[in-house]
Amino acid sequence: MTRNVYVNGEFLPETEAKVSIFDRAFLMADGVYEVTSVLDGKLIDFDGHAVRLERSLNELDMRSPVTKEQLLEIHRELVEMNGIEEGLVYLQITRGAPGDRDFVFPDPETTEPTIVLFTQNKPGLADSPAAKKGMKIISIEDQRWGRRDIKTVQLLYPSMGKMMAKKAGADDAWMVMDGYVTEGTSNNAYYIKGNTIVTRALSNDILHGITRAAVLRFAAEAQMQVEERNFTIEEAQKADEAFITSASAFVMPVVEIDGVPLGDGRPGPKATRLREIYLEESRKVAV
Ligand code: PLP
């Protein structure tokens, strides 16, 4: 079945969708994005993603071509058109296509932003076998730019990080800056020791994960302690459990870091429980 996508005000088959070669995202990675998951045909944490999108746009002096209400409608219509029960909605807004290449930002009065949305059908997303197996992680140096709090489409280094992990026979990489873990290539990173969850505090060094915010709230409700602070790979290797969070993976247990198994090398009970709570609570308030 051909997917329907949304481009600049139109729903159309993916084969007919077009964006200019002068688009700033194509030439300069001058664009921001969001990924929202869909469960039971409904959007998970939509509000959080919409708020972060607005912040990313503001930080880059970009404007949104749509209101938050319109954005929700476009998401819903695409999910419906493409019959998505479980999957993802990808959204990208760029500074537009000024008709030539120039480092200087185009005049926003004359260059419209580009907006693109598409769905990814992922049956079984919530009941993922990976969550029962757990992930193997390697550590790599964090070589990204300094504004990782803005969700831009500059994803080359995270993509290279995934390839380094793949070559090493692992599932993903945690990035390390000045000796401390920042985050995963496309997720936030945590370890659990006793009843305490440790994760890096929010700053420009990491993306402010929407799933992170929800999971830390649920953890506090489940009487777990949360410490938002820097931590090292060595510390995480001595933990009882570890996990990652993202809109597409929810809560995913980590079972090995740089070849060192955590606990008995299987997904831990606390990370597994956090995944259950996250899925249960998010489904209740999905839109
Ligand atoms: N950190 C990075 C670098 C990411 O790319 C992502 C998601 O794509 C996350 C964290 C997790 O954010 P969220 O939970 O909002 O998906």
Taking the C-alpha atoms of residue 43 and residue 53, their distance in angstroms, rounded to an integer, is 15
CB neighbours (10 Å) of residue 264?
A: 8
Return the ligand 1 atom nearest residue 48 CA: 15
Taking the C-alpha atoms of residue 78 and residue 118, their distance in angstroms, rounded to an integer, is 7
Measured in Å, residue 248 CA sits from the centre of ligand 1 at 9
Going by the DSSP 8-state scheme, the letter that residue 14 receives in this structure is G
Given this model, what pLDDT does residue 283 score? 96
Residue of 34, 153, 246, 275 to mutate, ligand 1, most atoms within 8 A of C-beta: 246
Given this model, what pLDDT does residue 86 score? 98
Secondary element (H or E) of residue 87: strand 87-94
Going by the DSSP 8-state scheme, the letter that residue 131 receives in this structure is H
Given this model, what pLDDT does residue 277 score? 95
How far is C-alpha 147 from the chain's CA centre? 15
Q: Name residues contacting ligand 1 (CB within 6 A).
A: 35, 183, 186-188, 207, 209-212, 245-247
Q: Which residue in the list 42, 122, 133, 151 is annotated as catalytic?
A: 151
* Residue 166 among the catalytic residues: no
Give yes or no for a contact between 187 and 209, defined as CB atoms under 8 angstroms apart. Answer: yes
Atom 9 of ligand 1, nearest CA residue: 187
How many residues can be counted in the chain?
287
Given this model, what pLDDT does residue 105 score? 98
How far is C-alpha 273 from the chain's CA centre? 21
Given this model, what pLDDT does residue 1 score? 72
Phi-psi region of 106 (alpha: psi -120 to 50; beta: other; left: phi over 0): beta
Q: Token digits for 56? A: 């990313």
Q: Token digits for 157? A: 């280094």
pLDDT per residue, tens digit, the chain (287 aa), is 789 999 999 999 999 999 999 999 999 999 999 999 999 999 999 999 999 999 999 999 999 999 999 999 999 999 999 999 999 999 999 999 999 999 999 999 999 999 999 999 999 999 999 999 999 999 999 999 999 999 999 999 999 999 999 999 999 999 999 999 999 999 999 999 999 999 999 999 999 999 999 999 999 888 899 999 999 999 999 999 999 999 999 999 999 999 999 989 999 999 999 999 999 999 999 99
pLDDT in tens, 191-224: 999 999 999 999 999 999 999 999 999 998 888 9
Going by the DSSP 8-state scheme, the letter that residue 124 receives in this structure is T
Q: Which residue in 5, 85, 92 sits closest to 43, CA to CA?
A: 85
The residue behind tokens 């185009």 is 106
Angle made by CA atoms 176, 147, 30, in degrees to the nearest 5: 125
